[in-house]
């Protein structure tokens, strides 16, 4: 889950890292008030989750509070990365002598967090790593032993930074690493950290991602920042169709029939499980099919939940037929899925044999499931028909029908 910059800044401030005076505003009046508090030149920055703000005109400089208010009116109108801004951050325009980079991310191979530091900040760290690799320091940190400070010292010193610079940066980078750990972040980045004329250091911009699975243990922080439980903060906002899928899945706690993603094709998919859905979605596309959606069933969902998901997909505008397919199931019961999808067709006044292009779910309780499908004339396949072959048959059927 990604934080907006104004939230990330607040998290940095709470961790005891110095930040510039800043305010969050959703109206020109609020922006003016924030700029007055700053008492000097300010920067008005669009608050969106994607990058590329500068290029899109989402960052404007102001000399007076009135100018900041005027820029706010403009910036709030600009869509960036398909997203309207949530507001603006009104920030102090700091005069910095040098910019530094500090970040902490997970290394899935080493299975430890890694601190990354560079005395070349303000630009993309991957670019620095490519062009000046000796200017980027990395160091893993233990998952079990508490951080004490030498870890940050080693990373910073490895980039050639020494003297009072080193000693002032160590606590900032240590606090950043501690914040990463304490808040279950998957990314905690300050870019840039600025060195001011008086030799002090200050965080000028921050990026934070919190692991979704850990949101439950940071309820207090999230509530204080005003992050709603329903905010997914994914790369794009969920569509109405996707939200309806979530509603189906939360009907009861038995299994999964959801994780719906909307696409614009004509073949509705009722597919599972995790890896099976990925495989089947690829298979449909490989055979020239156009999926109307992605979804996942698994963990033996109830008939009513499966029915709810199938109904949602069947009713999606532009869907001609659905394909009901999974990899071999051992926990989910074939007969329960069969009953769910047939019930969905019948309740919508549709003919299952017409609407279900193919049913390919082999495994537990398959004989019982196939009996039900036989009764309604639905074409089905057992494990002797591969996932790709089943997808191909579904695509061929829909091609013949349109």
Partner 1 sequence: MSILVGANTTFIVQGITGREAVNLTRECLDYGAGAKVVGGVTPGRLGREVHGVPVFDTVEQAVAHHGAPIDGSVVTVPPAFTKDAVFEAIENGIKLIVIVTERIPRRDVAQMVELASANDARIIGPNCLGIIVPDVIKMGGIGGPAKDAAKAYTPGSIGVISRSGGMTTEMSSTLTAAGMGQSTAVSIGGDAIIGSSYAELMPLFEADEATEGIVIYTEPGGRMEAQLAQWVAENNSRLPIVAFMAGRFMDEMPGMSFGHAGTIVEGKEDTATEKIARLAEAGITVAEEISEIPALIQAKIDERKS
Is-contact 48 85, C-beta < 8 A? yes
Q: Assess contact for 359 and 380: CB atoms under 8 A.
A: yes
- Of 236, 264, 348, 377, which lies in the binding site for partner 1, with binding defined by CB under 8 A? 236
The nearer residue to partner 1, 11 or 44, going by C-beta atoms, is: 11
* Residue number with CB closer to partner 1 (225 or 364): 364
Stretch 79-118: interaction string toward partner 1, x if CB under 8 A: ---------------------------x-xx-xxx-----
Q: Which stretch binds partner 1 (CB under 8 A): 128-136, 156-164, 337-345, 378-386?
A: 378-386
Among 66, 231, 389, 396, binds partner 1 (CB under 8 A): 389
Closest CA to 201 of 88, 117, 105, 104: 117
Only one of the segments 20-28, 30-38, 146-154, 324-332 lies at the binding site for partner 1 (rule: CB under 8 A); that segment is 324-332
Nearer to partner 1, 172 or 297 (CB): 297
- 338: preceding bond cis by omega (within 30 degrees): no
Least distance to partner 1, CB of residue 233, Å: 10
Distance CA 221, CA 225 (A): 6
CA-to-CA distance for 359 and 357, rounded, in angstroms? 7
**Which position has the token pair 């300010």?**
42
Q: What are the tokens at 316?
A: 């999606």
Region of 318 on the Ramachandran plot (φ > 0 left; ψ -120 to 50 alpha; else beta): left
Query: Minimum distance from CB of 311 to partner 1 (Å)?
Result: 22
**Does residue 302 belong to the site contacting partner 1 (CB under 8 A)?**
no
- # residues near partner 1 by CB under 8 A: 54
**Binding-site member from 169, 273, 338, 398 for partner 1 (CB under 8 A):** 273
Q: Compute, in degrees rounded to 10, the torsion defined by CA atoms 388, 391, 396, 398.
A: -170
Among 331, 351, 353, 375, binds partner 1 (CB under 8 A): 331
Among positions 4, 100, 201, 294, the unique one binding partner 1 when judged by CB under 8 A: 294
Cα separation of 96 and 337, whole Å?
A: 62
Q: According to CB under 8 A, which one of 119, 265, 276, 369 is a site residue for partner 1?
A: 276
The pairing of beta strand 112-118 with beta strand 137-140: antiparallel
Using the rule CB under 8 A, give the single segment among 232-240, 244-252, 304-312, 351-359 that binds partner 1. 232-240
Contact characters 153-182, partner 1, x per CB under 8 A? ----------------------------x-
Q: Which stretch binds partner 1 (CB under 8 A): 57-65, 210-218, 314-322, 369-377?
A: 210-218
The answer to whether residues 293 and 262 touch, using CB atoms and an 8 Å cutoff, is: yes
Cβ distance to partner 1 smaller for residue 37 or 285: 285
Task: Supply the minimum distance, in Å, between the C-beta of residue 286 and partner 1.
Answer: 7
281 binds partner 1 (CB under 8 A): yes
**278 counts as binding partner 1 under rule CB under 8 A:** yes
Task: Enumerate binding residues for partner 1 (CB under 8 A).
Answer: 106, 108-109, 111-113, 142-144, 181, 184, 186, 211-214, 216-217, 234-236, 259, 261, 272-279, 281-283, 285-286, 294, 296, 298, 326-331, 362-364, 383-384, 386-389
């Amino acid at each position: 889950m990604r934080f907006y910059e104004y939230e990330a800044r607040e998290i940095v401030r709470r961790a005891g890292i110095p930040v510039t005076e800043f305010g969050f505003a959703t109206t020109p009046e609020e922006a003016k008030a924030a700029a007055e508090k700053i008492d000097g030149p300010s920067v008005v920055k669009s608050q969106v989750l994607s990058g590329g703000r500068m290029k899109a005109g989402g960052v404007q400089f102001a000399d007076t509070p009135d100018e900041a208010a005027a820029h706010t009116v403009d910036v709030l109108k600009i869509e960036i990365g398909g997203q309207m801004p949530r507001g603006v951050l009104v920030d102090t325009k700091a005069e910095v002598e040098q910019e530094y980079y500090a970040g902490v991310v997970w290394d899935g191979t080493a299975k430890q967090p890694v601190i990354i530091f560079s005395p070349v900040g303000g630009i993309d760290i991957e670019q620095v790593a490519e062009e000046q690799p000796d200017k980027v320091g990395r160091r893993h940190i233990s998952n079990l032993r508490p951080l004490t400070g030498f870890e940050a010292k080693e990373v910073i010193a490895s980039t050639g930074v020494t003297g009072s610079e080193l000693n002032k940066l160590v606590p900032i980078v240590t606090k950043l690493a501690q914040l990463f750990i304490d808040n279950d972040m998957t990314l905690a980045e300050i870019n840039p950290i600025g060195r001011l004329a008086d030799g002090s250091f200050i965080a000028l911009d921050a990026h934070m991602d919190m692991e979704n699975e850990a949101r439950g243990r940071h309820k207090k922080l999230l509530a204080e920042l005003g992050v709603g439980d329903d905010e997914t903060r994914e790369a794009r906002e969920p569509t109405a169709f996707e939200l309806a899928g979530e509603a189906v899945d939360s009907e009861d706690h038995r299994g999964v029939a959801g994780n719906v993603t909307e696409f614009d094709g004509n073949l509705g998919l009722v597919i599972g499980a995790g890896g099976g859905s990925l495989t089947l979605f690829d298979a449909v596309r490989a055979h020239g099919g156009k999926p109307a959606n992605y979804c996942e069933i698994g963990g033996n969902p109830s008939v009513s939940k499966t029915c709810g998901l199938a109904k949602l997909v069947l009713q999606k505008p532009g869907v001609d037929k659905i394909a009901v397919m999974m990899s071999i199931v051992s926990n989910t019961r074939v007969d329960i899925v069969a009953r769910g999808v047939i019930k969905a067709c019948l309740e919508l006044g549709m003919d299952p044999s017409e609407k279900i292009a193919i049913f390919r779910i082999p495994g537990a309780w398959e004989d019982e499931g196939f009996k039900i499908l036989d009764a309604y004339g639905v074409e089905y396949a057992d494990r002797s028909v591969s996932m790709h072959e089943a997808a191909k048959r579904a695509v061929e059927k829909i091609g013949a029908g349109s």
